[in-house]
Chains A and B, each alone.
Chain A
Amino acid sequence: MASLLELRDVEARYGPVRALHGVTLTVGKGEIVAILGANGAGKTTTLRAISGTVKRDGAIEFGGKPLRGGPESAARLGIAHVPEGRGTFSELTVWENLRLGAYTRRDSSAADAQRVLAFFPWLEERRNQQAGTLSGGEQQMLALGRAMMQRPKLLLVDEPSLGLAPLVAAECFRNLQVLNEQEGLAVLLVEQNARSSLAVSHRAYLLETGRVVLSGNSDEIASHEGVRRSYLGY
């Protein structure tokens, strides 16, 4: 199966500090892939390297073609990046945030909005509310809704459960699963919460100090001795 996204020996740096020392991974169509690792392992940087937010070396292919340029072109190619902190526009309304999701689409229509509202019905009544006044969980859902408006082929999600109560976080992961099953949306998920992300993903990669040290099916990884001790706590 030709993979949707392929990274080969990707390196990235912040000024003089190298954050990624050669990351190799793939995401297939319709897969949910998790990236695990401790703080500073390079998980966020990997997503940034893909969307082009940070400069990188090495090969990245998306849909079989080399991926170049900044986030603006990645968005146009069908990659939706929901960054750490959600990236919602706090000063704009809920509705305006959603509209921005469809910015790169030439053919966006009311149907897109309907889809998103079907998923998150509560957004309808809060249309004109300033996004900054929503709760953390609501902003996360708004960010997801905005990404949906883009009709992406690949969704990059960075630490969605950060700052959310466990129940709310769980709902977030459920949403990702449903999106994946219903629409075949490929997801690359970065999470510190190893247990939840392994539960929801098909495959996973473990990063340490900017390198992939372990990869495989999520259930295999979940039962891996080292992973269990360091990341799952038992």
Chain B
Amino acid sequence: MSAYSRFLVPLFLVGCAIFLLIGSLQSALFAQLTVSGLANGGIYASLAVALVLIYRATQVINFAQGAIATFTTYIAWQLMTWGMSYWAAFFLTLGIAFVGGTLLELITIRPVERRGNILTVVIATLGVLILVEGSVGWIWGAEIRFMPSAFPARFIHVRGVAFSLQDLGTIGISVASVVILWVLFRFTKVGLAMRAAAFRPEAARLVGVRVSWMLSLGWGLAAVLGAVAGMMAAASPSVLLQPNMMDGVLIYAFAAAVLGGLESPAGAVVAGLLIGAMLNLLGSYVSWVTPQLLLPTAFVLMLVVLLVKPSGLFGRTQVRRV
């Protein structure tokens, strides 16, 4: 069994890719659904990587990730409302997200970590969720607002199939942000230190890495990814800019993180894209899967994965630091 099981996961993924490809070639609708599904998936993937970043370092599930993304998206909206151009607002928001995420960890999580155990920190992140989502409602109110998009509402036609520029742009930006993050982790000193602090905090301290700073930085980067996810989500047709807009997305992101393996960023990306595409196709082709049932489907998926292969598609059963 184990001799073949190494190939199961890659085989499965290749199978999915082939399925999507062939379907797209056969049917215009399929192709469109796949692409827009991948766009959703890109959003899930970005948020999922943010979750993985924090989980990898601290074993904490950051329930507030979606709310933080919402907050930063509102900031972007506000900047644009004040007249800033889209891309200027976009990048400024990323900067604000980084600083904000770092500060948030410092102020709300650090004091709790010092005191308690994992469960207290998890509850604290729930507190942050309530606080941040509440802040959005407090500052901006609960009315639905309109979020401009980076991309004009045009379509690209390939072989007679129309793909929205918005979707393609979303896929592009999500993938780009994750790749940039990957480069950061792989090739910079800080990235190496963050990885070392995540894997072996005690050994990292011995070589001089300030582990708690690395943690704060991790939250900052996670917030940046969340901001990207949020801005893309708000611009997409299926999500409206309102205080609880990322609640559902968060669940899909959780599902992606779990499916990919909670400690594997690459897994989160692949799983996110996959979930996005598959759910979109499922929603259209299977009649009893109504839009309301998509979220419960994701829940069931998470449950099944955690029961059957908790380490996810890409996870290894690692020796846990106790």
Contact = CB atoms under 8 A, between A and B. Distances in A.
B206 A83 contact: yes
B174 to A, nearest CB: 26
Interface string B177-220: 00000000000010011011001101111111111000000000
B199 A104 contact: no
Interface string B223-261: 000000000000000000000000000000000000000
A231 interface: no
Contacts of A124: none
Given A89-B199, A91-B199, A96 B192 contact: yes
B191 to A, nearest CB: 10
A53 interface: yes
Interface stretch (A34-42, A69-77, A164-172, A206-214): A69-77
A83 B206 CA distance: 9
B190 to A, nearest CB: 10
A51 interface: yes
A75 B202 CA distance: 13
B103 to A, nearest CB: 21
A103 B205 contact: no
B75 to A, nearest CB: 34
A53 B205 contact: yes
A96 B195 CA distance: 10
Nearest to A75: B208
A174 B318 CA distance: 34
B203 A72 contact: no
B208 A89 contact: no
Nearest to A82: B206
A88 interface: yes
A83 B189 CA distance: 23
A87 B208 CA distance: 13
A92 B199 contact: yes
Contact of A83 (B203, B209, B210, B318): B203
A218 B210 CA distance: 37
B56 to A, nearest CB: 10
Given A87-B200, A92-B199, A71 B192 contact: no
B206 A75 contact: yes
Interface in A68-113: 70-72, 75-76, 81, 83, 87-92, 96, 99-101, 103-104
Contacts of A103: 189, 192-193, 207-209
Interface string A43-76: 0000000010100000000000000001110011
Interface size class of A (residues with CB under 8 A): 20 to 34
A53 B211 CA distance: 13
B59 to A, nearest CB: 15
B206 A89 contact: no
Contact of B210 (A53, A72, A81, A100): A72
Contacts of A89: 196, 199-200, 203-204
Contacts of A76: 208
A66 to B, nearest CB: 19
A72 B196 contact: no
B206 A53 contact: yes
A167 B208 CA distance: 32
Nearest to B316: A91
Interface in B100-125: none
A146 interface: yes
Nearest to B212: A72
Contacts of A70: 205
Contacts of A72: 205, 208-211
Nearest to B203: A87
Contacts of A201: none
Contact of A88 (B192, B195, B203, B208): B203
B165 to A, nearest CB: 40
Interface string B306-320: 000000000000100
B187 to A, nearest CB: 11
Contacts of B192: 92, 96, 99-100, 103
Nearest to A108: B189
B196 A92 contact: yes
15 contacts: A51-B206, A71-B205, A71-B206, A72-B205, A72-B209, A72-B210, A75-B208, A89-B199, A89-B203, A91-B200, A91-B318, A92-B195, A92-B196, A96-B195, A146-B207
Top 8 closest pairs, chain A to chain B, by CB? A75-B208, A104-B208, A87-B203, A71-B205, A91-B199, A71-B206, A81-B206, A100-B207
Given A51-B206, A89-B204, A92-B199, 4 more contacts: A71-B205, A87-B206, A99-B189, A100-B209
Interface of B: 189, 192-193, 195-196, 199-200, 202-211, 318
